Copies of this chain bind each other. A is one copy, B any other.
Amino acid sequence: MNQEKKHPSLERANSRRKQVLDAAACCFSRHGFHGASMAEISKTAGMSAGHIYNYFDSKDAIIAAFVEQNMERVSNIMHDLAQSDDPLQAMIDDVEKRVQECLDPSIWAVPLEIHSEASRNPKIAATMQAADQRSRGQLFAIVTAAREKRGLPAGEDLVEGRINAMIAMYQGLAVRHVHNPGVLNPGLVDGVRTAIRALMLGE
């Protein structure tokens, strides 16, 4: 609905920013966050070393943009759930899609790199935690309302605990992929669905 007309130079800047982010994702996955220099990122993006600073003034700023990007993806999922007549059933129906996403390196590789960096870098940890809190807040409201509508227990601790267990399982799948490249066996989606059904629809 909110269709703003973008200024051509703004569009150009956005496209340049995306070019830098794609290059950074590539460099981070090759050498890790610490091993990738701004010089290498600008070279991979096909820009001069000075030019890149017009868009991002540090590697931390690039990381913040990735967190933003991931939050947008999660926000879209939340938006669709909130529109659904039966969000709890929708979460169960969507398990296969979510599992596929969690096992897609183009989605999880950079977040894991950020994660590792966040355990050492309080500024990045704060950015990541704020994004996480916002997403959890949205999910919390959706699940609480949907469980109340079905007459299921919907106390704050209960809903918070179930949501955290569910997110842990999805986030853990991305981690497991490195430990067990064969994790996507024919029973995985059923297994995850069994757990999500119990978490969302169980007393």
Q: Which residues of A contact B (CB under 8 A)?
A: 29-32, 34-35, 109, 112-113, 115-120, 125, 128-129, 132-133, 136, 155-173, 175-176, 178-181, 183, 185-192, 194-195, 197-199, 202
Report if A191-B34 is in contact (Cβ < 8 Å); known contacts: A120-B29, A172-B168, A179-B115: no
In the complex, what distance in Å separates the CA atom of A186 from the CA atom of B157? 6
Query: Who on chain B is nearest to A112 by CB?
Result: B116
In the complex, what distance in Å separates the CA atom of A164 from the CA atom of B189? 10
In the complex, what distance in Å separates the CA atom of A197 from the CA atom of B203? 13
**Cβ–Cβ contact B194 & A198, under 8 A:** yes
In the complex, what distance in Å separates the CA atom of A172 from the CA atom of B34? 24
Chain B residues with CB under 8 A of A191: 158, 161-166, 199
Query: Who on chain B is nearest to A189 by CB?
Result: B161
Chain B residues with CB under 8 A of A197: 198
Q: Can you name 4 extra interface pairs (CB under 8 A) apart from A136-B180, A169-B169, A198-B198?
A: A132-B180, A165-B192, A168-B175, A195-B199
**Cβ–Cβ contact A176 & B185, under 8 A:** no
28 pairs from A and B in contact (CB 8 Å cutoff) = A32-B32, A32-B120, A113-B116, A115-B179, A119-B178, A128-B178, A157-B185, A157-B190, A158-B190, A159-B187, A160-B188, A161-B186, A161-B191, A161-B192, A164-B183, A164-B188, A164-B191, A165-B188, A165-B192, A165-B194, A166-B191, A168-B168, A168-B173, A168-B175, A168-B183, A172-B172, A194-B198, A198-B202
